[in-house]
Amino acid sequence: MTTTSGHPHAENPAREPGSPPGGVSRRRFIGFVVAGATLTVAAEIGGAEPASAAVPSVPQVPELYDLGDLQTHSALPTSQLIRITVDDHGLAHFAIPRMEVGQGITTAAAMIIAEELSMRVEDVRVTLAPARPELVFNQLTGGSNTMQSMFTPIRVAAAVARGALLQAAATELGATVASLVAKGGVVTAPDGSSRTYAELSGAAASSTTTAVDVELSPTSSFDVVGTPRSRVDALEAVTGRKRFTMDLDVPDALPTMVCRPPTLNGSPRSIDNLAAVLGMPGVTDVVAVDTGVAVRAATFGQCIDAVRALRVTWAGGTVEGESDDSVLARLKAAELPMAVPKVPLLTQTVDMRFEFMFRSSAALEPNCAIADVRDDRATVWAGLKAPIVAQRNIAKALGLPIAKVDVNVVTGGGSFGHKLFGDAAIEAAKISRAMRKPVKLLWHRADEPRQGRTHPMATSRIRATLLAGEVLTFEQRHTSIKTDFSHGLGERLTAMASELPAGLGNLGLAESIFTLTQELPYDFGVVTQLLSEVDMGFNTGSMRNIYSPDVACANELFIDQLAKKVRKDPLAFRLAFLRNERVKACLRKVAEVGQWGRSMPPGTAQGIAIHSEYKGATAVLVEIDCRPETVGRQIRDAVTGPRVTKAVIAVDAGLVVNPRGLEAQMMGGVSDGIALALTSSNHLQDGHFLEASWDNYFYTRQWNVPPSFECIVMPSDAQLPGGAGEAGVAASVAATACAFARATGTVPTRFPINHGTVSFTPKTFVPPVPPSPTDGLTHTY
Amino acid sequence: MAQHTFRVNGEAVTVNVADDVRLLWVLRDVLGITGPKYGCGINVCKACTSHINGKAFNPCSVQVKDVGPDDEITTIEGLPDTVGADLHPMQEAWLERDVAQCGYCQPGQIMAAVALVRKVRAEGRQITDEDLDGIRNVCRCGTYNRIREAVRDGAARM
């Protein structure tokens, strides 16, 4: 694997933190030393930097101010603070108001603090902050926005801490601040005398909260940020010590599962064998809630048995009788018309429609939460990317004031957008309230594809006109089942705004987000890209990108067809029309490293594609093998099919905090892209999804992985990080689709390409979960 | 309720639990050993992969009554002790390659990798691409290439 980190950034002479400002400098910021016995510093978030344009940020803010309660913001001018504490062991502590789901933000935050505080990464402890409603806009993990939004505030706070420690050291060592050197958590004076941060923490503390003017060190002086670092939680992960929600020991929170309806979003009318199930081994409680019938037992195994034993009369769901075809028909009917711009005679027209099936965004850790609800208060533990919204929704469901609901954010076993919503946390709170006992709620795997959130089905129609090798017009009409954005911007005002009557708020938001995230970096004359949505009652959400993987797949496949029409090579055609130099640089890089155009055997081919989003750019080159002997290879209970044999991805993510982490995100993005293009979807049939587990829902497995993977991190002179978590997906799905088209000579128009075949026998809907096997000892190796 | 005695990570344990409770839940819910994870409960995702008498198995699919006093269950928590070190060489390879993303599947991946290397070694051969293709453990973060590299690296260290 090749990893090239960003080259040094623009010089800017360093000055002592706290020294008087000399003219206007964009590096100067205000931070705070907070009153306390040990050194605690703070910096504002949301104020220090403009928030990102990716997903839910900036452009919505003016709308929200129109709608929202200005008072909330203006009354709490100093509440939007993030704090770093340096304790008397010399450790720096930071509770990040974001959720770690594997994307590496705790590692990156520790690196930034270590950098600015001149200490070891190992001495920085980053934890996840509980729901902090006072943070309003600033506690949403999504849109690959964490590093974009947190980079500068973390630096400011750490720089304030460093300044305070140096001041204290100057007093104790009898030296000027300017003469001191801080390194590895030790401050050394010219005479060789020194103090550790542990020794200075008390002296550096302040009895009053004071504002401090700081100057950030120039990015060119970085020696931690920009270097490859392993994850701060890697040791916990490989030893099994890393704690996820279901690993927490909350007294009396017994295992709990829900018997769910046979059709999507059905609800229980009556429990027909309550006494029998209550008498089953281990079972303590059985109650009906709006989503199903909850069972609490001594072990999850006994919950599964009870769920299977329950006889429930169900009310119908929200999509009774619907199937893939009926939903597609609704989408087709809702497609916005093309604008039909006036074009000269003799133009050629290309017109294509692509279809993208429902996909489950579930992580390997299923939806889960612990809830302990009492008469007057509630405590919840869950993986939540928008904990403020979850807190509000839990309070609403329980009829409690928000201040009486404590929401603890637990590191997640993946998210991919799935944990933007507090579905399990809200459900657990309702069940705990109904049972009057603490519960540890776990969704059965089968519940996830069947009742959990999905990436909505969508179609993308594109029409372009060509004249003499030029593209005159490019029109795209993306039509999608409604994407639920009611996690808002992670903030309660917007959550309310997007719940406006008749979905008005949400529609506006969706269109805005579509416009904000879809960038077509080609010079294609008159370009229009429009979104329309259909609300049919599906449980949806963003899935590692919102619209981009589908839109990019459609666009890039279409662009290959345009290139073919004018008899140009796909790479040459893209380079001729791309106007974004960063995208071009990525594209040239993957073409070079991946040897674009090399001779390949029949039935195999390369594909190349680009994407531009999150203040960055990606390009992907893949090679695919569609020969019968590969497509037909047999692996037990597996979908094999075409094999991507090589993937090369180049990413320009702006200033890179941790190239090793960025590469990991690109690797995951490629795995997702391959799954979206080739294998993974939900089949809707008669009001329910057929998939029930990983042997039905075919996410990329080792037998689908490209044996050759290479990631190139492009150099950047950007002063801020771009987004990383989702950036690798869109160009990957597109490149895989393009390669498949070139290898087979047939342009696929429905994704994933194997959706037409149901490659498994659907598991039962009543009972809703499969039996636990007993033959495990016959499969040892 | 019945009493069941078996060995976990080097120690004999006795639990009072119904015969048919799957070992995964005995480990997690009764004994508080949380390294093996639930990801499907039907022996598909392999997140709970552990060892029984040195061989990989999935405790989600084994009833507690089917293990006896002589059966040695090893979970990720007990893996280092099998080599008398703080970390098993496979865990070291995992750290070296920074394999984990969210980490949820990682205990199962590592236990599967150790068993695969032992199996291949017993067959007197090296790990092949086909062996790696055959690893069934789901990693929804998609860090599969690093897993492949770490298995080979771990094999060299074992």
DSSP labels, A552-599: HHHHHHHHHHHHHHTT--HHHHHHHHB--HHHHHHHHHHHHHTTTT--
Cβ–Cβ of B42/A238 closer than 8 Å?
no
Residues of B in contact with A230 (CB under 8 A): 95, 98
Task: Kindly list the domain boundaries of chain A, sorted by start residue.
Answer: 28-234, 245-318+367-442, 324-358+453-751
* Nearest CB to A247; choose among B34, B87, B94: B34
Q: Do B134 and A703 touch (CB under 8 A)?
A: yes
List, as ranges, residues 688-727 from A with C-beta within 8 Å of B: 693-695, 699-703, 705-707, 709
Chain A residue with CA closest to B26: the answer is A299
Inter-chain CB proximity A302 and B45 less than 8 Å = no
Tell me, yes or no, if A671 comes closer than 8 A to chain B by beta carbon. Answer: yes
Q: Which of 502-541 (A) contact B at CB < 8 A?
A: none
Contact A249 B37 (CB under 8 A): no
pTM: 0.93
Q: What pLDDT is stored for residue A138 in this prediction? A: 74
Cis preceding-peptide flag for A767 (omega within 30 of 0)? yes
pLDDT at A132: 85
CATH of domain A324-358+453-751: 3.30.365.10
Mutation target vs B (from A694, A703, A759; most B CBs, 10 A cutoff): A694
- Tell me which of B101, B119, B143, B153 to substitute to probe the interface with A (most A C-beta atoms closer than 10 Å): B101
Radius of gyration of chain A (CA): 27
Test A239 with B80 for CB contact under 8 angstroms.
Answer: yes
Query: Do the domains at A28-234 and A324-358+453-751 have one common CATH topology?
Result: yes
Q: Which of residues 16-75 of B touch A (CB under 8 A)?
A: 17-18, 20-26, 28-30, 32, 34-45, 47, 52, 55-63, 66, 75
User: What domains can be seen in chain B, in order of their start residue?
Assistant: 2-77 (3.10.20.30), 81-157 (1.10.150.120)
Contact A299 B57 (CB under 8 A): no
In the predicted model, residues of chain A with pLDDT beneath 50 are: 1-25, 47-78, 489-493, 500-504
Phi, psi (deg, nearest 5) at residue A39: -65, 120
Q: Which pair of tokens denotes residue A327? A: 């939903």
Which DSSP string do the residues of B52-101 spell out, in sequence order? ETTEEE-GGG-BGGG--TT-EEE-GGGTGGGGTSSS-HHHHHHHHHT--S
Tokens at A258, concatenated: 């829900």
pLDDT of residue A145: 82
Choose among A238, A412, A671: nearest Cβ to B144: A671
Q: Do A365 and B107 touch (CB under 8 A)?
A: no
Predicted local confidence at residue A498, as pLDDT: 55
Among A256, A643, A676, A780, pick the best mutation site for testing chain B contact (most B Cβ within 10 A): A780
Q: Which residue in chain B has the smallest CA separation from A780?
A: B57
Q: B86 to chain A: which residues are within 8 Å by CB? A: none
CA A364/CA A343 separation, integer angstroms: 51
Side chain identity, residue B41: G
| Average pLDDT score, chain B | 98
C-alpha to C-alpha distance for A98 and A132, rounded to whole angstroms: 11
Give the dihedral sign, CA B33/B103/A706/A675.
positive
- Nearest neighbour of A772 by CB, restricted to B42, B66, B80: B42
| Tokens (6 digits) for A431 | 């069940």
- The predicted pLDDT at position A46 comes to 55
Output the pLDDT for position A56.
28
C-alpha angle with apex B145: B141 to B147, nearest 5 degrees? 80
Paired tokens of A599: 């001779």
**The tokens 């074009």 sit on which residue?**
A343
- Which position has the token pair 């037992």? A297
Do the Cβ atoms of B45 and A301 come within 8 Å?
no
Q: Kindly state the tokens that stand for A709.
A: 């993977």
CA dist list (Å): B74 to A164, A543, A772, B59, B77: 50, 36, 21, 11, 8
Between CA A69 and CA A497 the distance in angstroms is 11
Select from 3.40.50.1100, 3.30.365.10, 3.60.21.10, 3.40.50.450 the CATH code of A28-234: 3.30.365.10
What pLDDT was estimated at residue A247? 98
Q: How far apart are CA B75 and CA B73, in angstroms?
A: 7
The two beta strands, A616-625 and A604-613, are antiparallel
A363 at the B interface (CB within 8 A)? yes
How many residues in chain A? Answer: 781
Q: Which residues contact A144 (CB under 8 A, 6 or more apart)?
A: A54, A55, A614, A722, A723, A724, A725, A726, A727
- Which helix (H) or strand (E) covers residue A760, if one does? none
Instruction: Say what the pLDDT of residue A148 is.
Output: 84
CA-to-CA distance for A664 and A614, rounded, in angstroms?
A: 17
Amino acid in the structure at residue A318 = T
The interface residues of chain B toward chain A in range 85-144, judged by CB-CB distance below 8 A, are 87, 91, 94-95, 98-107, 110, 115-116, 119, 129, 132-144
CB A551 within 8 A of CB A559: no
What gap in Å lies between CA A381 and CA A369, rounded to an integer? 6
CATH of domain A245-318+367-442: 3.30.365.10
